Structure 1
Amino acid sequence: MTLAYVKSSLTDPSTDSSASSLADKVRADFPILDQEVNGKPLIYFDNAASSQKPIAVLNAWRSYYEHDNANVHRGAHTLSGRATDAYEGAREKVAKFINARSPQEIIYTRNASEAINLVAYAWGLDSLQKGDEIILTVMEHHSNIVPWQLIAQRTGAVLKFVIPTPTGEFDLEQYKSLLSDKTKLVSVVHVSNTLGCVSPVSEIIQLAHARGAKVLIDACQSIPHMPIDVQSMDCDWLVASGHKMCAPTGIGFLYGKLDLLRSMSPFMGGGEMIAEVFLDRSTYAEPPHKFEAGTPAIGEAIALGAAVDYLTAIGMDKIHAYEQELTSYLIEQLQQIPDLTIYGPLTNRAGLAAFTVKGDIHANDIAAMLDQSGVAIRSGHHCTQPLHRHLGISGTARASLYFYNTKSEIDGFITVLKDTLSFFHSVMS
């Protein structure tokens, strides 16, 4: 299915726009979902780790390599011009998607981890000093903890952590108590990849700015699933990974306020990020190119733009509404299983559920057994070891949804999960 057809079929007012019909409309756009695994129809519930890619995105990536493959910005020939237009056009699409003021505020990175490291080294090393405080949360992904540990070791800054509430949500009152005139940075996850809770980012940012602190938002689990407006949010930086939002692996982006990006040191040196190079010094290009040294992931960036087109054609509000419907159903079904614990709030949550089952049944064993019936879920600590230690567990099983999933798939998952748990209970009894 071409992108043009997807746009017309999903946005035509004459078509059924009810949330329950969304998956039926888009399902055929994802060929990977139409297969069997271990002789069973695939149920892909590992979307928090990586989403699947629609045909429109695959075609955009392939089209670049088949028709326009050339380096960007550096050539006078036609192919280079077309590649540059598509590459920079994708940046404009990402900027519009999150309502950035300018495409200059969008920096391409390999992933969100690189984007956080960019801020840590290009801003943190210059801006933090001994005694300054960085506020994180216990539920952060390792990618939003380890870089700040490294920067703290080099600058003498101090890390402080917000602990989740007993219901598994961001503790706004504790956060307020941690804020002080020493706070220079707050770096928090928008949606937890384990608890599924949605942090009150607007209030977090407003409180931090009142103290003169900068704020970075990890939006990896929110941008694919809900509308995001960085101007309304007023964050200083925001990071995302393309592979969680229907784009390929190897591409992500950093949003940063333009004045702030201009004030930051380069992250890497090399071609493209310079204005002029002399033997004893160099001057640097304006953002975004100041932070994009070397040949970039051109095809992947173009495909990211196609992913943004695809999501925009559907409508992020429709995606969010449909996923809320799916999530409520998933939680309701999981709650019917005896001795199963769901982590995080039961309402106002994203489309994922991390859980454990009483009786020493390991999450990895659950996931392996489900895979035998074609059900793909995640198991382990989900790169949130500090959170799992706080919860007193070694790991969880996690089912995570996207807009191409269905209630019938949830039914299939629940049936296989019940059979799996019955098997383990019979073996252990």
Structure 2
Amino acid sequence: MKICVVGTGYVGLVTGVCFAEKGHEVRCMDIDEERVAKLKRGESPIYEPGLGELLRANLEAGRLGFSSSMKEAIEGARLCFIAVGTPPAGDGKADLAQVLAAADEIAEHIGPECRIVVKSTVPVGTGTLLCRRIRRHLSERGLKNIDLEIISNPEFLKEGMAVRDCLHPERVVVGASSDAARSLMRELYSSFVPEEKILMMDPASAEITKYAANAMLAARISFMNEIAQLCDKVGADVLSVKEGIASDRRIGKYFLNAGCGYGGSCFPKDVEALCCIGESQGLDMTLASAVAKVNRKQKERLHMMMRARFGSDMEGVCAAVMGLAFKPGTDDMREAPSLTLIRGLVNDGAKVRAYDPVAEGAARRLLPASVRFAGNLRELLEGADCAVVVTEWPEFGEIDWEAAGAAMRRKIVFDGRNLCDPEKMKALGFEYYCIGRNMLP
């Protein structure tokens, strides 16, 4: 099947590459000509395990191409996916500017055999809005008989595992109104999942499903972070609590890790957008609003712990920040807890040194100029007054803390991801601060 994918950001690029890997003929379109040129050379602009290899393999096989011309990319396509960004606007609502711009350009070149699929995360009713907008353009072109339908097909990719999630999804959600559209989407995904995992529903339900899924996962994280605060107050260990509730099959073990807050491209903006969607319908989204509020407070937790130890004037304190990306396996810095922490430390006069295996380039564009970057953990910890674990990269769990402590000026660790064993850290002579484990020195 010939497919056009509009947008080569995280979702669009992974989707396009994986469609090509399944044997489809894919053309990805982006208005960023420099980005397109890079992709044509087989260079991925984002870090995602396995993506670069598949990108180059499918380019070489001729199944995948890139263009800055919509006319060229959409020609002959049976499906055109909109996979552009929907960042939060100033009021928390999803900003649809890129989606609307993509729809306008698609309308200028779409043929009668092509159906439009929205992969971007959009508020309920966006499909209806786009349908009216595109019909207006088609009417101006003199094309009044095109069977126009906007299909909703939200993505559920986890950064760091996106290629695997795309090639082997747990489910595929499709919001479509006609049998023809449903049949076409079943044909597309038949090589990805068994038919029973292709969940057909109306477009509004599909649009809500993406927000509801992310809000539910975010709620689990925020709930455990509140439980962690309670554990610190009453002398309990949040890891024991997690084990106790995760063994209940109705709950399970995922998204129950207490820490310094969630970030990324989805949870923060989607929870806020869900609140806005509810408010637009006259609903007080009490739980979703609380989830977002808990997370905002939790992202300040490490900074507050450090202030309690060093005071609000941290002049002369050298803080070694371990991890910058919002999670391991990605270079995504959107809403990363490290940003909140580092900006707070710099404002308090601390000397900040940071290290991340892949996110340094993205971080440099977002952090104050005074932040210094280390090339490895040894360089990061040398002479530091404290180490601050922010992202749970696997290599951070394998540190020889005895050697690290010998290199540090003061043996103090603030563990925002509960990676270390508190008793072992104390036995090595560290002041060790963690979240929800009642392990204050």
TM-score > 0.5 by shorter chain:
no
TM-score normalised by the chain length of structure 1? 0.31
Larger Rg: 2
| Greater relative contact order structure (CA < 8 Å, 6+ sep) | 1
Q: TM-score, normalised by structure 2?
A: 0.31
